[in-house]
Structure formats: structure tokens, C-alpha cells
Amino acid sequence: MVSDYLQVVCRRYMGILRAEWRVHTTAFDDLKLIEDSMDWLCNMENCLDWSKEKSFHGPAMNTGLVKINRRKVALDCLKKLGSEVHIALLTDGLERRIDGDKNLHIRISLPMLVKGQIKLARSGNNEPTVKGIFKIESYPGSHPRDVVTEIIEGMI
């Protein structure tokens, strides 16, 4: 009886704790266009922090990182992906996208993002992607997959 009450209370308050987006670009990419696209996706200005590094093969690479530590902003960012992406996530199965640390991993197409559209990146495709990691809040007695499924179904 108490266990049922705790499950209902915990489920009501569980969600996404934080989010992170990472994008890798070359020296030829338009960084300003990518920054503007990420600002739009995250609904934040100047959210992307760039670092320069060398790739394995030698040319200069840029890595952009967005860290979202506020729950509401992280949840809004997940919601911004849109119902088409949400349905695709549920159809593909969330189980394979959740790791042992309760993180949901999503890759979206960078070329589509700079066009103002959000599409999941296809497996095996060599197009540039933006990798998203969403930390799931779940407690003993609840499975992270169930928490994320409930959140995403509520967004559709």
C-alpha cells in the first residue's frame, strides 16, 4: 500500500535532470550557422562552448558543447525535438538508447538542424550529427525506460 503510494508520488515528480548536446565540426563548417541552430534548439542564446583540437588524421576540429543543468530547460529541449522524433524514438525502442547510468542518447542530423528541421540520424549513415544525452531521474522501483516513455508520450 505504501509502496503503491510512493510509486505514484515518485512518478509524478520524476523526469529529466539535465541535458548535454555535443557537435563535432571541421574547419570548413559554418560555426555561426551551427551556433544559431543550437541556440534555437536549446532556446538559449550563446549556449555553445567551442574547443579546438586536432583530429586523428591531423586537420583541426571544433567541438561544440552545450550543458543544460536546469530541469525545465532540459525538458523543454527534449520537447522541442517534436512529435515526429518522439514517435520515432518510441517506435525504435527506448531500451537500446538508455545506458547503465540512466542516460538517454539521441543523435539528430546536423544538416537538417541547420535547415530548421529536426530528424533522427539514421544508423550507419555518415552524415554529421549532434549527439544529445539526457539524464533520466528515476528511483528504485521504477525503470528509466518507463519514466522516459511516460515523458515522451505526454509530449506527443
- pTM of the predicted structure, to 2 decimals: 0.85
Q: What is the CATH number of domain 2-155?
A: 3.30.1440.10
87 alpha-carbon distance from chain centroid = 15
- pLDDT tens digit sequence for 59-110: 788 999 999 999 999 999 999 999 999 999 999 889 999 999 999 999 999 9
Residue-level pLDDT at 125: 76
- pLDDT tens digit sequence for 85-99: 999 999 988 999 999
DSSP code per residue over 78-114 = HHHT-HHHHHHHHHH-SGGGB-TTSEEEEEEEHHHHH
